[in-house]
Amino acid sequence: MEGLKKSILASLWFMFLTLPIMGVFVNTIDKSVTWHLDRVLCVGVAAFVLSFLWRYMLEQKDKGRQEEEASSVEKVTFFNKLISSPKFYWPALVGVAVFAIAFPKLFSMYQVNVMTTALIYVVLGLGLNIVVGLAGLLDLGFVAFYAVGAYSYALMNMYWGISFWVALPLGALLGAICGILLGFPVLRLRGDYLAIVTLGFGEIIRLVLENWGSFTNGPAGISNIARPEFFGFAKGFLAQINFMYYLMLVLVIFTIFVVNRLKNSRIGRAWQALREDEIACQAMGIDKMKTKLMAFSLGATWAGMVGVVFAAKTTFINPASFTFLESAIILSIVVLGGMGSILGVILGALVLILLPEYMREFSEYRMLIFGAVMVLVMVFRPQGLVRDVRKKIDISAVKKALGGAHE
Amino acid sequence: MEYFLELFFSGLTRGSIYALIALGYTMVYGIIELINFAHGEIYMIGAFVGLVVAGVLSSFGFPAASIVILATIAAVIYAASYGYTIEKIAYRPLRGAPRLSPLISAIGMSIFLQNYVMLSQTSDFLSFPSLIPEFGFLKNYESMIGSTDFLIIAVAAIVMVGLNLFIKFTRMGKAMRATAQNRKMAMLVGINVDQVISATFVIGSALAAIGGVLIASHIGQINFFIGFIAGIKAFTAAVLGGIGSVPGAMLGGLILGWTESFCTGYVSSDYEDVFAFALLVLILIFRPSGLLGKAPIQKV
């Protein structure tokens, strides 16, 4: 009964809230007013139903938290079970590998192109995952490094005719340098200040690209960027698209390999310590400065490298591809997938990039859903799709090995 | 000299608006240490509600003077309601979560609200009716300061004085200061912290809506994206003055307004936004606590 009353109130409240924005449209040119009260009614009904769901979910979350606290055992999700047992792990990996290699043979050129884009976001997500997921530094201007990579190839190609294969490491290097340049002054800042500085930096880069017309062609962008040469292999348009796909696939595997190695290395563990508690981390003798710089520049390296690939793939770039929204999309890939988890980020990128692509009529609402999902995930499932499982050391076994010296 | 004064007054107008919006950021940050990313969107929603209400009222043939007042009141009420709802949905369930979580939730909320307005209204620019009537006085300065500029500066000044008095002397104001200083202690002495936080969001949003209606009427057009840039700039103003400090937000707004106005006037108008962002980056690097802010104590 109590719940019903609350839901009716919520429904009325949301109808009130949406009335002027959704219910009325004022045409300011011919001064006519169109009413859409049906939309407001829909909102009311939806709010009524959803408010039940909302309360139920919040209750479940509270219950879950209490249980977890009581039993002190972390819940293991389906995905974690899947990746932790070799019985599932190897066949799944082989299956994915075969599918990935055969992909261009099975599907049309359009699909291959879409998949290449998704793979670009996988690498971007993994790069940002180093900064946000592992080191806990919220970077809202990640797309700036992506832009640095893309523009460095486009400009070098335009002015000096530098080829793709030379530009690829150069783009990565320039990304890393920019990461260090930005990282150096902002290291002292705490979480949310850092977020704002990086956002400001990203916007500055975009605005400069847009306004420095004599050098970057301004908002018109740079077209006719050369596609990569595959040492005489790929002649013709179709073959080039397929090769682009394979190139991205190699890059993804390379990224996964490196990030995975990094995660459990000394620096990777330092990042995770930094994420958990900065002061305690410093007290353990970790050089905060160096650790943060490494995270920033390594993340930026991937973005710079993928930027080069992006410029070569689309053969046209302009500043509109590098807005804050793009940064937000990459961030939501990391957050929704599960911060710190490599598998999570890959799944997040595939879901977020492929779903809107295959649901065309849906795509208008894409950003609306993005925003809503970001809020909902934070409220109900802060750890994302796949929870990052950390390596644990069994302390009792260590004690036994030490011969119970502490008894 | 003429040109200088013109820039000075245009900077003052801009600065007053930034200060109005910055107050919302600074109050929320002072109390729950959250950068309310959706605050710029509240300002944008305030402007849209003002536009819609003014349009509907004028189609019913209301007199101009009542339209100004009713549209502003509606904008304030709606912005406050949105602020209250956002806090309840996106931030309250996240109390006690790691610091990044509410920030990401706030970004999500901001993207959601932008697209919500874009899809239900349009993505085009809508022309905002000039609500503020042109009145002729200050004849000698007319080329430098119009009636809208004058009204914006006056309203901003009145609102700020009112807010300062509110925070200093009322019960709720005292509760806010207590909560900002130490939330747990405030709870222990019987302050309803949830209520205080809601009140902070409501007041901050109402101020942003006043700013929204004023600037929309001044510039003459709005679209769903105006909140983003204005929000970032108001945030810059808040940081510049020292986030968490109410007089700091006002000072920061004015300084930012003048910086922008003089830089675009004397250097180049292409890089208007770059100056604001560059100022933000520089302040955060060299004086993260702002001009009037206190340096945060690191708690171990």
- In chain A, which residue's Cα lies nearest the Cα of B108? A371
Residue-level pLDDT at B197: 92
- Closest Cβ opposite residue B112 in set A26, A136, A375: A375
The answer to whether B126 contacts A26, with C-beta atoms less than 8 Å apart, is: yes
Q: Which pLDDT value is given to residue A407? A: 45
Interchain CB distance below 8 Å, A193 and B100: no
CB of B134 within 8 Å of a chain A CB? The answer is no
Q: How far is residue A291's CA from residue A289's CA, in Å, rounded to a whole number?
A: 6
A318-352: string of b/e by CB count within 10 Å (b at 16+)? bbebbbbebbbbbbbbbbbbbbbbbbbbbbbbbeb
Measured at the alpha carbon of residue A114, what is the angle toward residues A113 and A120, in degrees to the nearest 5?
A: 90
User: Picking from A87-101, A136-150, A224-238, which range would have the lowest pLDDT averaged per residue?
Assistant: A224-238
Q: Crossing angle for the helix pair A237-263 and A109-128, nearest 10 degrees?
A: 20
Give dist(CA A294, CA A300) in Å, integer. 10
**pLDDT at residue B79 greater than cutoff 90:** yes
Alpha helices (H) in B134-269, listed in sequence order? 147-169, 171-181, 183-188, 193-219, 226-241, 246-266
pLDDT confidence of residue B74: 93
In chain B, which among 43-62 make CB contacts under 8 A with chain A? 45, 48-49, 51-56, 58-59
- Residue A375: count other Cβ atoms within 10 Å of its Cβ: 26
The two three-digit tokens of residue A167, written as one number: 């530009």
The C-alpha atoms of residue A259 and residue B98 are separated, in whole angstroms, by 24
Q: Which amino acid is at A6?
A: K
- A284 has a pLDDT exceeding 70: yes
**Chain A hits for B280, Cβ within 8 Å:** 196-197, 200
Residue A352 confidence (pLDDT): 79
Q: Test A26 with B52 for CB contact under 8 angstroms.
A: yes
Best A16, A17, A21, A194 member to test B by mutation, with max B CBs in 10 Å, is A21
Higher pLDDT: A405 or A219? It is: A219
What was the pLDDT predicted at B42?
93
> Directed axis angle between helix B246-266 and helix B272-286, to 10°?
130
Q: Which residue has the higher pLDDT, A190 or B127?
A: B127
Question: A235's torsion region: left (phi>0), alpha (psi -120 to 50) or beta?
Answer: beta
Q: List CB contacts (< 8 A) between A46 and chain B.
A: none
Least CB-CB distance to A196: which of B35, B56, B116? Answer: B35
pTM of the entire predicted model: 0.85
What does the pLDDT look like over B113-138, one tens digit per residue? Answer: 998 998 888 878 888 777 666 665 55
Q: Can you state the angle between helices B246-266 and B226-241, rounded to 10 degrees? A: 120
Q: Say whether residue B273 is in contact with chain A using an 8 A CB cutoff.
A: yes
B226-241 and B100-120 are packed helices; what angle lies between their axes, rounded to 10 degrees?
150
Least confident of A38-47, A282-291, B134-143: B134-143
Q: For residues A143 and A133, what is the distance between their CA atoms, to the nearest angstrom?
A: 16
The owner of tokens 């290291």 is A187
Give the pLDDT confidence of B197-244 residue by residue, as tens digits: 999 999 999 999 998 888 888 888 888 888 888 888 888 888 888 877
**What's the whole-number average pLDDT of chain A?**
80
pLDDT of residue A86: 66
CB of B187 less than 8 A from some CB of A: no
Taking CA atoms, what residue in B is nearest to A200? B277
CA distances from B192 to A24, A219, B80, B171, B186 (A): 37, 52, 19, 12, 8
ipTM above 0.90, yes or no: no
Subunit contact B121:A195, Cβ cutoff 8 A: no
pLDDT at A287: 82
Residue B102 neighbours by CB distance under 10 Å: 26
Among the partner-chain residues B53, B54, B108, the one whose CB lies closest to the CB of A374 is B108
Measured between CA atoms, the residue of chain A closest to residue B122 is: A25
Residue linked to tokens 């290097």: A173
In DSSP terms, B127 is beta-bridged to B221
What local confidence, expressed as pLDDT, does residue B46 receive? Answer: 92
Percent of chain A with pLDDT over 90: 1
Answer for the pair B244, B293: CB distance below 8 angstroms, yes or no: yes
Interface mutation vs chain B, best among A15, A28, A198, A332, most B CBs within 10 Å? A28
The two structure tokens encoding residue B207:
């101020």
Question: What pLDDT sits at residue B127?
Answer: 81
Q: Which of B89, B97, B108 sits opposite A371 (nearest CB)?
A: B108
